[in-house]
Structure 1
Amino acid sequence: MTDLPYRPCAGVMLINRAGKVFVGQRIDATLEAWQMPQGGIDPGEDALTAAIRELGEEAGVAPEHLELIAEAPEELTYDLPPEMIGKVWKGKYRGQRQRWFLFRFLGEDADVNIATSHPEFRAWRWSDPADLPRMIVPFKRTLYEQVLAGFSAHLG
């Protein structure tokens, strides 16, 4: 397909006390797609640190409101659709390779604030885990099914 590498990334499944998952609607998305927080791993940063940082940057969730439950057993990847390669991430990557973490949210809804200094979401909500694959953009659907399978022992 392409010789481009995958972008290193951390992803977060954040569940509340009712077992619902945090999802946000991206500001830059034209589709009615929702996603879990995720973002690039900075040079020299480990994946867990990146995951906690991304939760703060994207959802305004402070580390004291988090309890780590699990890390996905393996790194997961997805490829961008051909028409997006070369346009996203300055054309440097073919997709992402992601380390996923499952956290329990210990705070209240008021402790979520998507109006961060560099907002990425225009809306957020708690959703049923089973609904995630149909809420995400189609090219990430298989990845979300893999995340759900990896954390299934800890959900519901």
Structure 2
Amino acid sequence: MTPVQDLPYRPCAGMMVINRHGQVFVGKRIDMASDHWQMPQGGIDAGEDPLTAARREVLEEIGTDKIELIYELPDWLTYDLPDHLIGKVWKGKYRGQKQKWFLFQLTGADEDINIFTEHQEFSEWRWLEVSELPKRIVPFKKDIYEILVERFTPYIQSD
């Protein structure tokens, strides 16, 4: 088995989708029996541009492409999986993820969101205040969510 420190990070796109009130879309992962909520995210395919991956993942995970790009975080953020998940997720190929994050405005309505997609990730969804994000995510992603709140908040406006 490859030592954890020698495993690469999985390339991933993360998306903060906000509504016109400045609230953030979050979903409960279908494969987790906890009260943790997360924003959409997903792997970047080989040769795929991160923004293209982000738009594809939004459509796959929340069932709409009615979004408009507001801001792209210029740098990549990384997190390591906790020890108990190493070797269990992503077929043991990765130690965590390196994520390129995007802030999108939902240009449609709540009715345009449909989490019951072919690649269903979430069992339910809701809108959450931006400041609540770090309190709702799994603990090993909390640092990333704190960075996102700090870096994206200046670009979030509400009606």
**1:50 equivalent in alignment to 2:53:** yes
**1:149 equivalent in alignment to 2:143:** no
* RMSD across aligned positions (CA): 0.9
In the alignment of these two chains, the number of paired residues is 154
TM-score, scaled relative to structure 2: 0.94
Structure 1 residue 118: deviation in Å?
2.0
Structure 2: tracts of 5 or more residues without a match: none
SS in structure 1 of the partner of residue 154 of structure 2: helix
Structure 1 residue 91: deviation in Å?
0.1
1:104 corresponding residue in structure 2: 105
2:20 to 17, 21, 42: 17
CA distance in 1, matches of 2:57, 2:147: 21
Moved over 6 A (4+): none
TM-score, scaled relative to structure 1: 0.96
CA distance in 2, matches of 1:18, 1:61: 18
Structure 1 residue 155: deviation in Å?
2.3
CA distance in 1, matches of 2:153, 2:108: 23
**1:33 equivalent in alignment to 2:41:** no
CA distance in 2, matches of 1:138, 1:108: 31
Structure 1: tracts of 5 or more residues without a match: none
CA distance in 2, matches of 1:124, 1:131: 15
Tell me the amino acid that sits aligned with residue 21 of structure 2.
A
Structure 1 residue 4: deviation in Å?
0.4
Instruction: List per-residue Cα deviations over 1:51-106 (Å, max 9, x = no partner).
Output: 000001110012xx111000012100000001111111000000000000000001
C-alpha contact (below 8 Å) 1:57/1:116 kept by paired residues? yes
